[in-house]
C-alpha cells in the first residue's frame, strides 16, 4: 500500500483558520501531499514534499496530526502541521519534478467546504484536518499545545 504525507500549513486570518492549498494546472485544487519514499520517515517526507511542491523550507518541528486511510484504494495518509510564518496571500512555484508544473498557491478557510474543483480524496483530507482543530476553536491545535 502506498503511503502519502500531507504537510498542513495553517494560518489565522481575520479570525478564521486557513490552510495552504494550490491549483495544479491540470489536476484542480489540492493540498500539498506526496508519496513517502521507501525508508523515509514521515516527518522528513513532509518537509521534502512541502519544499518540492511549494518552495517552502522550514527547520521548525512538525506536529503529527495523525493518519487516515483515504481514497478508493485506501492509501495511508500521514498528516503533519508545519509552522511557517510570513507567507504571502498567494504565490506561484515552479516544481523541479512533476514536469516542471507551475502551482498557484492560496489559502483555503478550513470551515469552508470544498467544491467540485477538488478531487474527492482532498474532501476526505479536509475532514481529517478539521478533526485536528480543537472543538470550538479557530486556532490550530499545534498553536495551542506549543504556544506558537
CB atoms within 10 A of CB 93: 17
Q: What is the pTM of this model?
A: 0.88
Is the pLDDT assigned to residue 92 strictly greater than 80?
Answer: yes
HSE-CB for 46 with a 13 A CA cutoff = 25
In this prediction, residue 148 carries a pLDDT of: 35
What is the arithmetic mean of pLDDT over 96-105?
85
pLDDT digits (tens, 9 = 90+) for 14-41: 888 999 999 999 999 999 999 999 999 9
C-alpha cell at 130: 478539521
Which has the closest alpha carbon to 148: 87, 59, 82, 90? 82
In this prediction, residue 71 carries a pLDDT of: 80
CATH 3.40.50.300 matches 3-146: no
Which has the closest alpha carbon to 142: 132, 131, 129? 132
Task: Of 12-21, 44-53, 106-115, give the lowest mean pLDDT range.
Answer: 12-21
Is the pLDDT assigned to residue 144 strictly greater than 70?
Answer: no
Q: Where are the domains of the chain?
A: 3-146
The helix (H) or strand (E) run that includes residue 47 is helix 42-54
In this prediction, residue 90 carries a pLDDT of: 95
- Under a CB-based contact definition with an 8 Å cutoff, are residues 16 and 111 in contact? yes
Amino acid at each position: 500500500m502506498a503511503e502519502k504525507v500531507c504537510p498542513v500549513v495553517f494560518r489565522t486570518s481575520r479570525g478564521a483558520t486557513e490552510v495552504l492549498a494550490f491549483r495544479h494546472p491540470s489536476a484542480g485544487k489540492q493540498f500539498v501531499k506526496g508519496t513517502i519514499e521507501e525508508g523515509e520517515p514521515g516527518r522528513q517526507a513532509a518537509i521534502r514534499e512541502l519544499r518540492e511542491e511549494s518552495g517552502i523550507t522550514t527547520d521548525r518541528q512538525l506536529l503529527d496530526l495523525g493518519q487516515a486511510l483515504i481514497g478508493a484504494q485506501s492509501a495511508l495518509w500521514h498528516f503533519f502541521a508545519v509552522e511557517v510564518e510570513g507567507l504571502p496571500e498567494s504565490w506561484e512555484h515552479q516544481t523541479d519534478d512533476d514536469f516542471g508544473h507551475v502551482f498557484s498557491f492560496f489559502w483555503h478557510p478550513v470551515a469552508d467546504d470544498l467544491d467540485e474543483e477538488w478531487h474527492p480524496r482532498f474532501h476526505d483530507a479536509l475532514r481529517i484536518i478539521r478533526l485536528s482543530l480543537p472543538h470550538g476553536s479557530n486556532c490550530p491545535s499545534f498553536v495551542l499545545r506549543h504556544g506558537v
